[in-house]
Amino acid sequence: MITSMYQGVREGVRVLGNGMKVYHLPLIPVINNDVSLIAKYNILPVIRHILVREQVEICHGHLSTSITAAMVIFYAKLLGLRTVFTEHSNFSTHQFENLNCNKLAQWYLKETDATIAVSQACKENFSLRTKVSP
């Protein structure tokens, strides 16, 4: 699992009891516990290193507003990996603050191999916002 730093203290690699590795990227969350898109570009070599070293074959992301998920999925596609995305949210398509999130999601989900919506309402909203075929 790749995620951002946790409350400014968890950084680096942690191995959970079940053996799963959690990579906390050395980025400090700024707004809504996420980091800015610009900050992600200087972390791409780290993401590449993790994906290659762990021999990742499928990359699965959640939440269309997550910049971390966006950049990992984007970079996974550049490396030729299979990608899957799961959406849990319903956002308005008309509110100004959601326009940027929707455009970002359209950009990085364009080449995703599969998308999953957790409900019919989520599927309709997600398809409308991102122009992903239902």
pLDDT tens-digit series, residues 86-116: 888 776 666 666 666 777 777 777 778 998 8
CA–CA dist 104, 99 (Å, integer) = 9
CA–CA dist 134, 22 (Å, integer) = 32
Domain coordinates in residue numbering, the chain = 2-130
Mean pLDDT of the residues in the chain: 79
Q: How far is CA 29 from CA 6, 56, 115, in A?
A: 8, 25, 26
Tell me the CATH number for domain 2-130. 3.40.50.2000
The rounded percent of the chain whose pLDDT value lies above 70 is 76
CA–CA dist 119, 127 (Å, integer) = 12
Cα 113 to its chain centre, rounded Å, is: 14
pTM, to two decimals: 0.74
